[in-house]
Amino acid sequence: MPTRWTRKSWRGSTGKSEYEVAIIGPGALGRVFAARLGRVAEVALVARSEERAAALRAGYRLREAGGEVHVFPNAYGPESAPRARWAVVLVKTPDTVEAGRTAARLATAGAVSLQNGWVDDLLPPTVRQGASTVAAKFEEDGAVRLVSEGNTWLPPGFEELARTLSAAGLPAEASSELAAVRLRKLAVNLVINPLTAVLNRPTGALLEPPAWELVGELVREMAPVLQARGLAVGEEELLELVGGVIRATAANTSSMLADVRAGRRTEIEEITGVLLRWGSELGLELPRHRALYHLVRALEKVDRGQPLQQ
């Protein structure tokens, strides 16, 4: 039988209701973080509106290796959400600006974004950007499945939050090497996300020819740009990194492919768009990445509201 649990808020020193952690964004990943953290801390889950918050309070199902649990979160809309020591942003990039403002307003100790892509310019100065390889997805019946517990990297000064995440079964650390970690994650996203979206295939299809040859070409094309940003990795090591993630997630549907299939706006601007801007600053054209960028943008326009068939 599924397990039901709820957490009550605790009172901060101000006398107002305050939580230990606020999760901004109730997508698949946000629901995983809220559910896991709710076992060890007081957690608020902040939705886009009061109506969506009410639906969340009715509960959702989370499937993990140990089985299925029913989660009944402390859910709020952005206007009614209470303060929290830590705020974690887990929204899709189109919602970054509003989510960042909410996180900055709620957090008393620190706020961090764990979103895909490079969204630094969209966040308030007080909201830092970390990185996470935790993976989750919505299943056809609406339940959320935890695909991978992964790892999470936070900026220095977020050691307390890292300990809380680790205690919840989501391994985390506050790292002085965060910039390199973020560039490595971006490198993986630059290949897997747009290529699977254009091919309309699961990640493992990239290991097959001729897709694998294109993976190598994309890696070699982006390597000088990422190296110029501080990633001390050669082309072959970078290809091994990307190939290792492809093999480890072969059965997965990338988030960009899922967005295209559902007719949603993708995160191509904050992933490949960022690379293209960096390349332009160096006088590099990056034709393969530019072609993927335009193909994904075309798919967004063609399939918006008309989901792409699998």
What are the residue numbers of the active site? 185
Phi, psi of 80 (to 5 degrees): -95, -5
Beta bridge partners of 131: 153
Q: How far apart are CA 30 and CA 110, in angstroms?
A: 18
Instruction: Decide: 43 and 6 in contact? Cβ < 8 Å.
Output: no
Query: What is the pairing mode between strands 144-148 and 107-113?
Result: unpaired
| Other CB atoms within 10 Å distance of the CB of residue 45 | 29
Q: What are the strands of the beta sheet with 172-174, ordered from one edge? A: 131-132, 152-154, 172-174
Instruction: Decide: 137 and 258 in contact? Cβ < 8 Å.
Output: yes
Q: How far apart are CA 192 and CA 236, in angstroms?
A: 17
Instruction: Decide: 22 and 38 in contact? Cβ < 8 Å.
Output: no
Instruction: Decide: 112 and 129 in contact? Cβ < 8 Å.
Output: yes
Instruction: Decide: 115 and 90 in contact? Cβ < 8 Å.
Output: yes
Phi, psi of 47 (to 5 degrees): -95, 175
